Structure 1
Amino acid sequence: MKPWLGTLLFIAVGLLAAGLVGFYPAFTNGKAVLDDEQDGFDDRYVIKFSHVVAENTPKGLAAQRFADLVEEKTGNRVKVEVYPNGILYSEPNEKQALKRGEVQMIAPSFSNLSVMLPEWAVMDLPYVFLSDDAVQEAFKGEVGQILFERLEKNNMKGLAFWSNGFKQMTSNRGPLTDPSDFAGQRFRILPSRIIEDQFNALGAYTASIPFNEVYREFEAGTVDGGENTISNIYSKKFYKVQKYMTISNHGYLGYAVLMNKPFWDRLPSELQIAIEQAMKETTDWINRYAVQMDKRYLEQIQQDGYTQIHVLSDNERAEWMLQWEPLYRQSERFFGQELMEAIRNLQRKYES
């Protein structure tokens, strides 16, 4: 055989083998590309889901449950790869990574999303939600609809709201029972104008610190305290470096589950339907389970004995609410009448 015929035969065999193995599309910067490291169906898709919390938190558990359900409901045509603990992108970077299509899903807190879309900071108003029922009605009703509509122009599709739980106050400086107890202390906060104003109204200072750096800053004394959900306080061991905790339920920490919109639009309709079904089942489950998890973790924190825990009385809670009322009067100019009216209607419904 002539040498050049051998070369042609080698190339032909290689191309045939590649065709038998099959390629399927991955996405880079929102565009489909062939990935020869992945084999399977010709139309299999990979969703990289990046988040910053631990696997044993409500968001971490929900992300993995969603991944399992998606593969089941799509017959393995869609694979969800979950990257927890900020191993791909930190809080400040994950939103831009989603817009660029470097990941296909994220689930930022409302506060972190408000850096890009200021209207989302309305969810950070102190005592904006007075019960878990009020939270779920906001997610499923007018408030959630208004907020999701604001995402489209930023190449994001809102899929769901996931619960984490109500926020509690912690400090190393002393108990936090009266608004005056906050004066002069420095608190770690999420990057939210409303949260910053909330602490400033109490005479406190603030520092915006990424979630995965908080333990180190508490331990070093760079900040005196912070606010977080019980599940985050427990899973990240914050309670071991914070002497005092107040059960205040003054704010709510939830997540908006978002997908890169160009990626979503390219998915076949039957896969979109399957993903939405998986998301609904996951959301219904986690929004119930998060409440149970907080109760269990609070019991564990109490048993471990590192932290003194104070539960606000009704009178103490009323004092905190009174101190923060001016934030609501200022917020209508910032968030707009439509959104603030929806919030006020919800509050009136659950005040009794």
Structure 2
Amino acid sequence: MMLNRRTALAAGTALATTGLMGGAARAQTVTLRSADIHPEGYPTVAAVQFMGELIKERTGGRLEVQVFPSGQLGGEKDTIEQTRFGVIDMNRINFAPFNNLIPETQILSLPFLFRSEDHMHQVIDGEIGEEIAAAFEPHDLVVLAFYDSGARSFYNARHPIQTLDDMKGLKIRVQQSDLFIAMIQALGANATPIPFGEVYSALQTGVVDGAENNWPSYDSVKHYEVAKFYSQTEHSMSPEALVMSKASYDRLTPEDQAIVKAAAKESVPKMRELWVAREKEARARAEAGGAVANPVDKAPFIAAMEPVYAQFVTDAKLQDLVQRIRAMA
């Protein structure tokens, strides 16, 4: 849903109560709307709710956050536009849908870039993370926090994926990202970009043979019921961003901006704690529901990514970023 910018900004202004502007209206409660495609109880949803509790407490109830889970406000691609225009105040989004808008996000979405989750945390919690966050600002977005999305792996309804040959001919759902489409093609499969909420029925009806995601997502929407072969390629550990509309952020006082940013930062360890627990629970539930997990020799898959890196790491700045990430201990 592409919005007329003038109409969207007007709607966003109406949604963000004028109580932010001072005078007697300061006592009014301003509700910041936050979108997430994941269901109630998912670690990212719970982390933003935790952040909201801190914000409400520290502003004496002047600001609060209402999270709309399960894609109630739309798919990720649509809600990015709405957030940029100020119709939605906050949004938790995987890096992949930002890839075509913000080149720097492509780097952290590159397959097999991170050696481990600890390596990924080291990158996004430091100087490189700050550089990536700054790249969102020209697009009317303020990064409040980076969250985890675990290790993404392939799953399908036809057979275990153990070699590159097992990928050939499979129709794999991917996020709406040129980078992810190129990754699937490089592995010999056919990429089908469709919204997350449509994946179950697509698997069920054979529109796609498989998809790729982490254990919590695989479990939360019960994809194991229609695609039981979960092959642990762990090809992506791309982080997720909790962003705020710059229009909404700029309407806050400097004091409230600091409160929101501090609460968002404090929500990160909470999210990671919830994630670790959820990942273990999700795998156990999925396997109890019939999922069959198998390890994968990653070396051939990594080698197949050379043309993907050549296609997307095209200038000196991005090449330097990849080198710096790989050089981190």
TM-score by structure 2 length? 0.89
Quick check: 2:186–2:307 contact (8 Å CA) kept in 1?
Answer: no
Corresponding residue SS for 1:106: strand
Q: What displacement does 1:70 show?
A: 1.4
Residue number in structure 2 paired with 1:20: none
**1:29 aligned onto 2:12:** yes
Report the secondary structure of 1:29's partner residue.
helix
Residue 246 (structure 2) pairs with residue 246 (structure 1):
no
Letter in 2 for 1:310: N
| Letter aligned with residue 295 of structure 2 | V
Picking from 297, 301, 308, the partner of 1:327 is 308
Deviation, structure 1 residue 197 = 1.0
Q: State the secondary structure of the residue aligned to 1:309.
A: strand
Match in the other structure for 2:95:
110
What is the DSSP-based 3-state SS (H/G/I as helix, E as strand, rest coil) of the residue aligned with 1:48? strand
Provide the residue aligned with 2:60 in structure 1. 75
Matched, 1:302 2:283: no
- Partner residue in 2 for 1:233: 218
Q: Where does residue 156 of structure 2 map in the other structure? A: 171
Kept in 2: contact 1:115–1:191 (CA 8 A): no
CA-CA distance at 1:172 after TM superposition: 0.9
Q: How many residues align?
A: 315
Supply the distance in 2 between the matched residues of 1:179 and 1:57 (Cα, whole angstroms).
32
Equivalent position of 1:18 in the other structure: none
Give the direction of change, closer, same or farther, for the CA distance of 1:164–1:87 in structure 2 (3 Å limit): same
Larger radius of gyration: 1
Contact map agreement 2:95 2:105 (CA 8 A) in 1? yes
2-structure distance, mates of 1:150, 1:50: 21
Letter in 1 for 2:222: K
Q: Does 1:129 align with 2:108?
A: no
Paired position in structure 1 for 2:79 = 94
Residue segments in structure 2 that go unaligned for 5+ positions in a row: 1-9
Q: CA deviation at 1:34?
A: 4.9
What is the aligned-residue RMSD (CA, Å)? 2.0
Return 72-81 or 113-122, whichever deviates more.
113-122
Residues 200 and 80 (structure 1), Cα distance of their counterparts in 2 relative to 1, 3 Å cut = same
Q: Is residue 57 of structure 1 aligned with residue 38 of structure 2?
A: no
Superposed CA deviations along residues 52-107 of structure 1, whole A, max 9, x for unmatched, are 11112221221222222211222111011111111122222101111221111111
Judge conservation of contact 1:190–1:209 (CA < 8 Å) in 2.
yes
Q: Does the alignment pair 1:209 with 2:194?
A: yes
CA offsets, 1:101-134, max 9 Å, x none?
A: 1111111110111232233122221111111111
Question: Could you tell me how far 1:148 is from its partner in structure 2?
Answer: 1.6
Question: Could you say what secondary structure the match of 2:81 adopts?
Answer: helix
Q: Distance in 2 between matches of 1:171 and 1:92?
A: 24
> Structure 2 CA distance, aligned partners of 1:342 and 1:121?
11
TM-score by length of 1: 0.84
**Aligned residue number for residue 6 of structure 2:** none
Secondary structure of the 1:56 match is: coil
Q: Which sits farther off after the overlay, 82-91 or 169-178?
A: 82-91
TM superposition shift of 1:235: 0.5
Give 2:320's aligned residue. Answer: 341
What is the distance in 2 between the residues matched to 1:78 and 1:349? 39
Does structure 2 conserve the Cα–Cα contact (< 8 Å) formed by 1:58 and 1:164? no
Which structure 1 residue ranges, 4+ long, deviate > 4 Å from structure 2?
31-35
Which of 225, 242, 245 does residue 260 from structure 1 map onto? 245
Distance 1:40 1:63 in 2: 26
Aligned equivalents of 2:144 and 2:328: distance in 1? 26
> 1:126, 1:324 within 8 Å by CA — same for their partners in 2?
yes
Same amino acid, percent of matched pairs: 26
Cα distance in 2 for partners of 1:258, 1:343 equals: 23
Change (3 A) 1:80 1:263: same
In the alignment, is the contact (CA less than 8 A) between 2:94 and 2:238 conserved in 1?
yes
- Which structure 1 segments of 5+ residues have no match? 1-26
Whether contact under 8 Å (1:30, 1:100) holds in the other structure is no
The answer on whether the counterparts of 2:84 and 2:139 sit within 8 Å (CA) in structure 1 is: yes
Deviations 1:245-295 (A, max 9, x none): 111211124311111112212211221122122111111211233133212
Residue 60 of structure 2: SS of its match in structure 1?
coil
Deviates more, 1:272-281 or 1:219-228: 272-281
Aligned counterparts of 1:212 and 1:60: Cα–Cα separation in 2: 16
Secondary structure of 1:157's match? strand
Counterpart residue identity of residue 149, structure 1: A
Q: Which residue of 2 aligns with 1:8?
A: none
Q: Deviations 1:304-334 (Å, cap 9, x if unpaired)?
A: 3x1221022xxx111211121332233321x
The whole-number CA distance in structure 1 between the counterparts of 2:170 and 2:246 is 42
Do the aligned residues in 2 keep the contact of 1:122 with 1:194 (CA within 8 Å)?
no
Do the aligned residues in 1 keep the contact of 2:110 with 2:238 (CA within 8 Å)?
no
